[in-house]
Protein backbone atom coordinates (compact mmCIF):
# COMPACT_ATOMS: atom_id res chain seq x y z
CA UNK A 1 0.00 0.00 0.00
CA UNK A 2 1.45 3.34 -1.05
CA UNK A 3 1.56 5.98 1.66
CA UNK A 4 2.43 9.67 1.30
CA UNK A 5 3.16 11.98 4.20
CA UNK A 6 3.68 15.74 4.04
CA UNK A 7 5.99 17.45 6.50
CA UNK A 8 7.18 20.98 7.11
CA UNK A 9 6.42 24.10 9.11
CA UNK A 10 2.81 24.98 9.73
CA UNK A 11 3.53 28.70 9.97
CA UNK A 12 5.47 30.80 7.49
CA UNK A 13 6.08 34.53 7.67
CA UNK A 14 5.00 36.74 4.77
CA UNK A 15 7.66 37.17 2.07
CA UNK A 16 9.47 34.05 3.27
CA UNK A 17 9.74 30.66 1.56
CA UNK A 18 7.33 27.82 2.18
CA UNK A 19 9.15 24.47 2.12
CA UNK A 20 7.40 21.13 2.32
CA UNK A 21 8.55 17.55 1.86
CA UNK A 22 6.51 14.52 0.85
CA UNK A 23 7.83 11.14 1.96
CA UNK A 24 6.61 8.16 -0.03
CA UNK A 25 6.51 4.64 1.36
CA UNK A 26 5.23 1.39 -0.07
CA UNK A 27 6.19 2.33 -3.59
CA UNK A 28 9.07 3.69 -5.61
CA UNK A 29 9.13 7.32 -6.76
CA UNK A 30 11.37 6.08 -9.58
CA UNK A 31 8.53 4.17 -11.26
CA UNK A 32 8.03 5.35 -14.83
CA UNK A 33 4.28 4.78 -14.59
CA UNK A 34 3.69 7.64 -12.20
CA UNK A 35 4.53 11.22 -11.43
CA UNK A 36 4.29 13.18 -8.21
CA UNK A 37 2.27 16.29 -7.64
CA UNK A 38 1.52 19.08 -5.20
CA UNK A 39 -2.03 20.39 -4.84
CA UNK A 40 -3.39 22.93 -2.37
CA UNK A 41 -6.77 23.87 -0.97
CA UNK A 42 -7.54 27.10 0.90
CA UNK A 43 -10.00 26.63 3.73
CA UNK A 44 -13.52 26.10 2.44
CA UNK A 45 -12.44 26.43 -1.17
CA UNK A 46 -11.54 24.31 -4.15
CA UNK A 47 -8.41 22.50 -5.24
CA UNK A 48 -5.51 24.20 -7.01
CA UNK A 49 -2.86 22.18 -8.83
CA UNK A 50 0.63 23.54 -8.09
CA UNK A 51 2.89 21.33 -10.19
CA UNK A 52 4.49 17.95 -10.70
CA UNK A 53 7.76 16.11 -11.02
CA UNK A 54 8.38 13.13 -13.26
CA UNK A 55 10.79 10.26 -12.85
CA UNK A 56 14.03 11.65 -14.15
CA UNK A 57 13.41 15.03 -12.56
CA UNK A 58 11.55 17.03 -15.20
CA UNK A 59 8.92 19.36 -13.80
CA UNK A 60 5.77 21.18 -14.86
CA UNK A 61 4.27 24.08 -12.93
CA UNK A 62 1.01 25.97 -12.81
CA UNK A 63 1.69 29.13 -14.82
CA UNK A 64 0.01 31.19 -12.10
CA UNK A 65 2.72 30.10 -9.64
CA UNK A 66 5.62 29.29 -11.94
CA UNK A 67 7.76 32.28 -10.96
CA UNK A 68 7.67 31.23 -7.29
CA UNK A 69 7.58 27.42 -7.34
CA UNK A 70 10.25 24.76 -7.40
CA UNK A 71 9.56 21.03 -7.07
CA UNK A 72 12.47 18.67 -6.61
CA UNK A 73 12.96 15.00 -5.84
CA UNK A 74 15.35 12.81 -3.89
CA UNK A 75 14.96 9.21 -4.96
CA UNK A 76 17.48 7.99 -2.38
CA UNK A 77 15.15 9.21 0.36
CA UNK A 78 11.93 8.48 -1.55
CA UNK A 79 10.94 12.11 -1.13
CA UNK A 80 9.90 15.05 -3.24
CA UNK A 81 9.71 18.63 -2.11
CA UNK A 82 7.93 21.92 -2.73
CA UNK A 83 9.45 25.37 -2.37
CA UNK A 84 7.19 28.39 -2.75
CA UNK A 85 8.91 31.75 -2.43
CA UNK A 86 7.64 35.20 -1.46
CA UNK A 87 4.51 33.89 0.23
CA UNK A 88 1.52 36.00 1.18
CA UNK A 89 -1.67 35.33 3.09
CA UNK A 90 -3.17 34.09 -0.17
CA UNK A 91 -0.85 31.08 0.04
CA UNK A 92 -2.47 29.91 3.27
CA UNK A 93 -3.95 26.51 2.51
CA UNK A 94 -3.85 22.79 3.14
CA UNK A 95 -1.09 21.42 0.94
CA UNK A 96 -1.38 17.89 -0.40
CA UNK A 97 1.16 15.70 -2.14
CA UNK A 98 -0.17 13.03 -4.44
CA UNK A 99 0.82 10.26 -6.83
CA UNK A 100 -0.62 10.53 -10.34
CA UNK A 101 -0.76 7.93 -13.07
CA UNK A 102 0.77 8.67 -16.45
CA UNK A 103 -2.16 6.96 -18.18
CA UNK A 104 -4.89 9.32 -17.02
CA UNK A 105 -3.23 11.92 -14.81
CA UNK A 106 -5.56 10.94 -11.99
CA UNK A 107 -4.18 11.07 -8.46
CA UNK A 108 -4.73 7.69 -6.89
CA UNK A 109 -2.84 8.22 -3.64
CA UNK A 110 -2.78 11.38 -1.54
CA UNK A 111 -1.08 12.48 1.62
CA UNK A 112 -3.28 13.52 4.52
CA UNK A 113 -2.47 17.17 3.89
CA UNK A 114 -0.67 19.79 5.94
CA UNK A 115 -2.08 23.16 6.88
CA UNK A 116 0.33 26.00 6.19
CA UNK A 117 -0.60 29.42 7.50
CA UNK A 118 1.14 32.54 6.25
CA UNK A 119 1.09 35.11 8.99
CA UNK A 120 3.37 37.45 10.84
CA UNK B 1 -6.47 27.38 -18.35
CA UNK B 2 -9.39 25.03 -18.93
CA UNK B 3 -12.29 26.04 -16.71
CA UNK B 4 -14.30 23.24 -15.13
CA UNK B 5 -17.84 24.04 -14.05
CA UNK B 6 -19.82 21.63 -11.91
CA UNK B 7 -23.53 21.64 -11.33
CA UNK B 8 -25.20 21.77 -9.03
CA UNK B 9 -22.93 23.38 -6.43
CA UNK B 10 -24.95 21.71 -3.70
CA UNK B 11 -27.48 18.94 -3.62
CA UNK B 12 -29.73 17.48 -0.96
CA UNK B 13 -30.70 13.85 -1.27
CA UNK B 14 -31.74 10.80 0.69
CA UNK B 15 -30.30 7.34 1.17
CA UNK B 16 -31.31 5.23 -1.80
CA UNK B 17 -31.67 8.14 -4.21
CA UNK B 18 -30.08 8.20 -7.65
CA UNK B 19 -27.89 11.27 -8.00
CA UNK B 20 -26.21 12.84 -11.01
CA UNK B 21 -23.54 15.54 -10.94
CA UNK B 22 -22.39 17.23 -14.12
CA UNK B 23 -19.07 18.76 -15.08
CA UNK B 24 -18.54 20.97 -18.11
CA UNK B 25 -15.15 21.93 -19.50
CA UNK B 26 -14.46 25.21 -21.30
CA UNK B 27 -12.78 23.22 -24.08
CA UNK B 28 -12.40 19.57 -24.90
CA UNK B 29 -10.50 17.45 -22.38
CA UNK B 30 -10.67 14.27 -24.47
CA UNK B 31 -10.70 11.30 -22.06
CA UNK B 32 -8.77 13.08 -19.31
CA UNK B 33 -11.56 13.60 -16.84
CA UNK B 34 -11.47 12.29 -13.28
CA UNK B 35 -13.83 12.38 -10.28
CA UNK B 36 -12.97 12.59 -6.60
CA UNK B 37 -14.86 12.47 -3.32
CA UNK B 38 -13.72 14.52 -0.33
CA UNK B 39 -14.95 14.28 3.22
CA UNK B 40 -14.38 17.09 5.74
CA UNK B 41 -10.82 17.22 6.99
CA UNK B 42 -9.68 14.50 4.61
CA UNK B 43 -7.78 14.35 1.36
CA UNK B 44 -9.70 13.77 -1.86
CA UNK B 45 -10.19 10.15 -2.87
CA UNK B 46 -10.22 8.99 -6.49
CA UNK B 47 -13.52 7.50 -7.68
CA UNK B 48 -13.43 7.51 -11.48
CA UNK B 49 -10.56 8.07 -13.91
CA UNK B 50 -10.48 8.51 -17.65
CA UNK B 51 -14.19 9.44 -17.78
CA UNK B 52 -15.63 6.06 -16.87
CA UNK B 53 -13.07 3.72 -15.31
CA UNK B 54 -13.84 2.77 -11.73
CA UNK B 55 -10.89 3.07 -9.38
CA UNK B 56 -10.01 -0.18 -7.59
CA UNK B 57 -12.05 -0.61 -4.45
CA UNK B 58 -14.73 1.93 -5.37
CA UNK B 59 -18.28 0.54 -5.19
CA UNK B 60 -20.06 -0.14 -8.47
CA UNK B 61 -22.89 2.26 -7.60
CA UNK B 62 -20.53 4.98 -8.84
CA UNK B 63 -20.28 5.47 -12.59
CA UNK B 64 -18.99 8.10 -14.98
CA UNK B 65 -19.80 9.03 -18.54
CA UNK B 66 -19.42 11.75 -21.11
CA UNK B 67 -17.08 12.98 -23.77
CA UNK B 68 -15.41 16.11 -25.05
CA UNK B 69 -16.64 18.84 -22.74
CA UNK B 70 -19.63 17.35 -20.89
CA UNK B 71 -19.36 14.70 -18.23
CA UNK B 72 -21.49 13.15 -15.51
CA UNK B 73 -20.95 11.28 -12.28
CA UNK B 74 -23.86 9.09 -11.22
CA UNK B 75 -24.45 7.40 -7.91
CA UNK B 76 -27.12 4.79 -8.48
CA UNK B 77 -28.28 4.38 -4.88
CA UNK B 78 -26.92 6.75 -2.27
CA UNK B 79 -25.40 5.26 0.84
CA UNK B 80 -24.76 7.13 4.11
CA UNK B 81 -21.01 7.23 3.45
CA UNK B 82 -21.54 8.99 0.10
CA UNK B 83 -22.52 12.32 1.64
CA UNK B 84 -19.47 14.41 0.85
CA UNK B 85 -18.12 16.92 -1.66
CA UNK B 86 -17.38 15.77 -5.20
CA UNK B 87 -14.84 17.31 -7.57
CA UNK B 88 -14.13 16.76 -11.23
CA UNK B 89 -10.61 17.26 -12.58
CA UNK B 90 -9.23 17.62 -16.08
CA UNK B 91 -5.71 16.44 -16.81
CA UNK B 92 -5.78 17.08 -20.54
CA UNK B 93 -3.95 20.39 -20.46
CA UNK B 94 -1.53 22.04 -18.05
CA UNK B 95 -2.41 23.23 -15.51
CA UNK B 96 -4.66 20.47 -14.27
CA UNK B 97 -7.84 22.15 -13.08
CA UNK B 98 -10.70 21.13 -10.82
CA UNK B 99 -14.35 21.94 -10.69
CA UNK B 100 -15.52 24.07 -7.78
CA UNK B 101 -17.12 21.06 -6.09
CA UNK B 102 -20.60 19.72 -5.47
CA UNK B 103 -21.59 19.31 -1.84
CA UNK B 104 -23.99 16.42 -1.34
CA UNK B 105 -25.86 16.43 1.95
CA UNK B 106 -28.87 14.83 3.61
CA UNK B 107 -32.29 16.06 2.62
How distant, in Å, are the alpha carbons of A58, A100, A115, B34 from that of A2?
22, 12, 22, 20
Evaluate if residue A104 carries a pLDDT over 90: yes
Q: Does B55 contact A at CB distance below 8 Å?
A: yes
Contact B72, B66 (CB under 8 A): yes
pLDDT for the residue A29? 87
pLDDT for the residue A75? 92
Q: Which of B48, B95, B98, B100 would you mutate first to test chain A, the one with the most A CBs within 10 A?
A: B95
> Which whole number is the average pLDDT over A72-96?
97
With an 8 Å Cβ cutoff, are B91 and A103 in contact?
no
3-state secondary structure of A61: strand
Query: What is the band of A37 on the pLDDT scale with cuts at 50, 70, 90?
Result: very high
pLDDT for the residue A56? 87
Q: Which residues of chain B have pLDDT under 50?
A: none
pLDDT for the residue A48? 98
3-state secondary structure of A104: coil
What gap in Å lies between CA B92 and CA A52, rounded to an integer? 14
Query: What is the band of A27 on the pLDDT scale with cuts at 50, 70, 90?
Result: confident
What gap in Å lies between CA A39 and CA A100, rounded to an integer? 11
Of the candidates A53, A62, A59, A7, the residue with the CA atom closest to the CA atom of residue A34: A53
> Which whole number is the average pLDDT over A56-72?
96
pLDDT for the residue B83? 93
**Closest chain A residue to B99 measured between Cα atoms?**
A46
Burial annotation A45-67 (CB, 10 A radius, 16+ → b, else e): eebbbbbbbebeeebbbbeebee
pLDDT for the residue A83? 98
> Which whole number is the average pLDDT over A69-94?
97
pLDDT for the residue A28? 82
What gap in Å lies between CA A28 and CA A24, rounded to an integer? 8
Q: Chain A contacts of B89, Cβ < 8 Å?
A: 47, 106-107
Our CA dihedral for A103, A108, A113, A116, rounded to 10 degrees, sits at 10
The Cα of B75 is separated from the nearest Cα of chain A by a number of Å equal to 20
Amino acid sequence: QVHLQESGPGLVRPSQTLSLTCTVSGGSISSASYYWAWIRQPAGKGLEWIGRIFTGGSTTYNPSLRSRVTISGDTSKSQFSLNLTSVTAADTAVYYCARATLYSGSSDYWGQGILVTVSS
Amino acid sequence: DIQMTQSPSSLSASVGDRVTITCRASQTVRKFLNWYLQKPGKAPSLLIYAVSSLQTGVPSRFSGSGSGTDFTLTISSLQPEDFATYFCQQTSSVPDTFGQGTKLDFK
